Amino acid sequence: MKQIIATEKAPAAIGPYSQGTIYGDVVYTSGQLPLVPETMQFVEGGIKEQAKQSLENLKAVLEESGAGLDTVIKTTCFLSDMENFSAFNEVYTEVFGTENAPARSCVEAARLPKDALVEIEAIAHKK
């Protein structure tokens, strides 16, 4: 049976969707924007700051589900500009490392919600 994930430690959904769902032992998150949960405004700064905030939001949703960054199987990362790829990778590597990094797709999107620079979603396994 499907379970909905909801936490105040990550931004509320800005549309008709949940922060994530659990089916069995698998967690599927919605794309996490670089919104500060308390203000629902973008974190100040550029791609590195936005990537870090999106990953913090992703972590909060995963932890609420009983998973964690260490159980992520696959991420899909959307960048508004592939010129930000190297800077994004620096932050992503700080979080996931290289030894046990999940599978990943990283694509440029013509436009992200609220004109974000990055959005990140994940599939993980519950602990």
The token duo for 109 is 């999107």
Work out the angle at residue 90's Cα, subtended by the Cα atoms of residues 110 and 113, and round it to the nearest 5 degrees. Answer: 25
Are 64 and 6 spatial neighbours (Cβ–Cβ below 8 Å)? yes
**Residue-by-residue DSSP string for 53-92:** HHHHHHHHHHHHHT--GGGEEEEEEEES-GGGHHHHHHHH
Residues 5/20, Cβ–Cβ less than 8 Å: yes
Catalytic residue among 106, 109, 125, 126: 106
Q: Could you confirm whether 77 is annotated as catalytic?
A: no
Which residues are catalytic, by number? 106
